[in-house]
Amino acid sequence: AWQKAIWQKPTFKVICFDIGQGDASLLQTPTGKTILIDAGPASPGYDAGERIILPYLQRAGIKRLDAVFITHPHLDHFGGLPSILAKIEVENIFFADTSYESESFQDLIDILQKLEVPVHIAQRGQVLNNFRPVKVWIAGPNPSDAKRQDHLNHASLALQIRYGKTAVLFTGDTESPGEQQLLAYRDLLDSDLLQVGHHGSKTSSSQAFLEQVTPKFAVLSLGAFNRFQHPAPEVTAKLAALGCDTLRTDLSGAFVFSSNGERITRIK
């Protein structure tokens, strides 16, 4: 019986999908709530929502998402969402406070309005307790950066999700200037798992930021032989020097992690 009791200890699960050049991760809380952070790319002939995320949700018996966070309105982060919305109920969606406009993003907003999905603007410093015992902390962006039209990556949401003593950090495509803003939080940034910013581009993952986060696992979500030549060799070298386990979706596929509140382990 004791073995069964240990086995049934509530766990927090993180799935980093292999969706090519883009980002998409699913979080499942110990109470069964589901959070999607970004929804991968869509282009003619390939839709990450239809091809990868939706089939996973259906196989797992997930019929609704309690929250969706879109870190910023670039197509490689939200392109797959319309396909998901067609089949899965979404309770809430969160965006950074950006006034960015594009045809594809406006199409998404139109779909959300038609489906009457509540849309929220995530503000830096907010802590969302709707997912207890898991907490979602909005660490960025700086409100003035969110409005920058010239460089949308600076408007990326930075989210830290905590369960017990463990933490997972997602920074979208936040680049070095945004990372500098986050450094003001000092030890609060410490996280066991880091979704490496901007797919391992050299414009992100500054040394001071990585040293503050000190991740045990660093996940790089990127497409094989991508035209951006991500990840930058200097980024993978920095991660190696920190001694963290660097995991690339282009080389190893999807990753699954589990936290019991004390520590995070990789289970796939």
What amino acid is encoded at 230 in this protein?
H
- The 10 Å Cβ neighbour count of residue 261 is 17
Phi, psi of 241 (to 5 degrees): -65, -30
Helix residue ranges per DSSP H, the chain: 2-7, 48, 54-59, 75-78, 81-85, 103-115, 143-146, 176-182, 207-213, 233-242, 249-252
pLDDT tops 80 at residue 205: no
Report how far residue 232's alpha carbon sits from residue 229's, in angstroms, rounded to the nearest whole number: 7
Per-residue pLDDT of 40-93, as tens digits, reads 898 888 999 999 999 999 999 999 999 999 987 877 778 999 999 999 999 999
pLDDT-derived band at 5 (thresholds 50, 70, 90) equals very low
266's CB contacts (< 8 A; 6+ apart) are 217, 245, 247, 255, 256, 257
Per-residue confidence (pLDDT) for residue 137, from 0 to 100: 95
Q: How many residues in the chain? A: 268
- By the 10 Å C-beta count (0-12 exposed, 13-18 middle, 19+ buried), 65 is classed as buried
pLDDT, the chain, mean: 86
Average of per-residue pLDDT across 240-264:
93
Task: Kindly list the structural domains of the chain, giving each domain's residue range(s) and its CATH number in brackets, ordered by start.
Answer: 9-252 (3.60.15.10)
| Tens-place pLDDT, residues 164-185 | 999 999 988 777 777 888 888 8
